[in-house]
Amino acid sequence: MSPVAAGKRAGSRRGAKRRPAFQPRLALLALGVTALVVAWGYLVYAAIDFGATARGGESAAWAFLALASLGAVACLFAGLMLIVRLLRELGITSPPPPRDPGPQPPSVAPGGRRAAR
């Protein structure tokens, strides 16, 4: 039996291996995710502390509790958005399929029935 790949165009079906190169964009996304997760953790800790202080009778701590909670929510949301971007850049996830525009009106030839003949 002869080999399947024979002739002048026969060759390896695999491409050359690419060495993974340093990509600053991926490093920046990873650094941003790390910073936002650390900030989220600190704000959650601060919110717990302000909550304990507010329950102890300090009325100004309620405002700080609300600000720390809103900051924690914002950091968590931004961190999750950066994680999604990082996964898309790495090729782990893919963008959603394009939206279906819905039913289209039937195409009518300009000029009416007579012009369409």
Residues 6+ apart with CB under 8 A from 115: 109
pLDDT, tens digit, for every residue of 36-57? 999 999 999 999 999 999 999 8
Look at residue 84 and tell me if it is in a domain: yes
User: Please, how many CA atoms are within 13 Å of residue 51, restricted to the half-sphere of its CB?
Assistant: 9
Cβ atoms of 75 and 39 within 8 Å: the answer is: yes
The amino acid at residue 110 is: P
- The number of distinct structural domains making up the chain is 1
**Lowest-confidence region among 16-20, 28-32, 73-77:** 16-20
Q: Is the pLDDT of residue 20 over 90?
A: no
Structure confidence at residue 32 (pLDDT): 96
Residue-number span of the structural domain to which 62 is assigned: 38-90
Full-prediction pTM beyond 0.75? Answer: no
**Buried b / exposed e along 29-46 (16+ C-beta atoms within 10 A):** beebbeebbebbeebbeb
| Residue carrying structure tokens 């394009």 | 98
Q: Is the pLDDT of residue 7 over 90?
A: no
Look at residue 46 and tell me if it is in a domain: yes
User: What distance in Å separates the CA atoms of residue 61 and residue 114, rounded to the nearest whole number?
Assistant: 79
Structure confidence at residue 5 (pLDDT): 58
Mean pLDDT of 68-93: 95
pLDDT, tens digit, for every residue of 53-71? 999 988 899 999 999 999 9
Look at residue 6 and tell me if it is in a domain: no
